[in-house]
């Protein structure tokens, strides 16, 4: 990526730093800031013609999508070698995980063609090592150290799929709400040791919750 950025992107990087500081989060490296700036630019460009996300303004993308996904990435335990972002959509939280935790091999699974095409472009533009699977995650034929999932339609069904893709001694990381927590725990089924939810900045309801699949 170029070291020169249009003024709007420089302002976006600075604003992201402010939002992270306000949330009590450590600063990003210069490289990570540049990657998030490029990600924001790409999101807004594609959103003009593809419905990637309902939040389209820069401030909303920075505060809701970026900051929340960064908090999720940093909450993941150490020692995770590979991660599946199930139903990745516009790349949340999978792309921020790939940016913030480059030691993790990230797979972005997205069955909708236009969204998977965006993910391919984002991975290329940001210089990430992540892989894009343009299809159903179940078709990958493997299990992962960690599976991430952000609140989606038919969340309980998606959680059941996600839980089945976690290897023994692996992790499930769900971005959901306090109100939905009991339902997603039930959907995941037995065998998980649930951790204390981590509140997401700017909301009394949104959380990221980790569950460890016990190796019996």
Domains and CATH numbers, the chain: 7-213 (3.40.50.150)
Q: What percent of the chain has pLDDT over 70?
A: 95
Q: For the ranges 65-69, 138-142, 201-205, which has the lowest average pLDDT? A: 201-205
Distance CA 18, CA 57 (A): 17
Entry pTM? 0.93
In Å, the largest CA–CA distance within the chain is 54
Task: With residue 162 as reference, give the H or E element that holds it.
Answer: helix 155-164
Task: With residue 126 as reference, give the H or E element that holds it.
Answer: helix 113-126
19-53 pLDDT, tens per residue? 999 999 999 999 999 999 999 999 999 998 888 98
């Amino acid at each position: 990526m170029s070291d020169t950025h249009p003024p709007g992107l420089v302002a976006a990087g600075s604003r992201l730093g402010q939002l992270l500081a306000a949330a009590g989060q450590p600063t990003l490296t210069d490289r990570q800031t540049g990657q998030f700036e490029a990600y924001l630019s790409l999101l807004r460009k594609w959103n003009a013609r593809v419905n990637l996300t309902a939040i389209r303004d820069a401030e909303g993308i920075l505060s809701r999508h970026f900051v929340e996904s960064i908090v999720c990435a940093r909450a993941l335990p150490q020692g995770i070698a590979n991660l599946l972002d199930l139903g990745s959509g516009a790349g949340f939280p999978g792309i921020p995980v790939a940016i913030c935790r480059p030691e993790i091999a990230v797979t972005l699974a997205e069955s909708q063609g236009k969204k998977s095409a965006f993910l391919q472009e984002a991975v290329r533009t940001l210089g990430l090592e992540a892989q894009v699977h343009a299809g159903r995650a179940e078709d990958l034929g493997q299990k992962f150290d960690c599976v991430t999932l952000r609140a989606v339609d038919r969340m309980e069904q998606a959680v059941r799929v996600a839980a089945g893709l976690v290897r023994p001694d692996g992790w499930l990381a769900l971005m959901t709400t306090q109100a939905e927590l009991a339902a997603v725990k039930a959907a995941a089924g037995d065998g998980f040791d649930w951790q204390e939810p981590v509140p997401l900045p700017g909301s009394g309801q949104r959380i990221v919750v980790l569950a460890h699949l016990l190796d019996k």
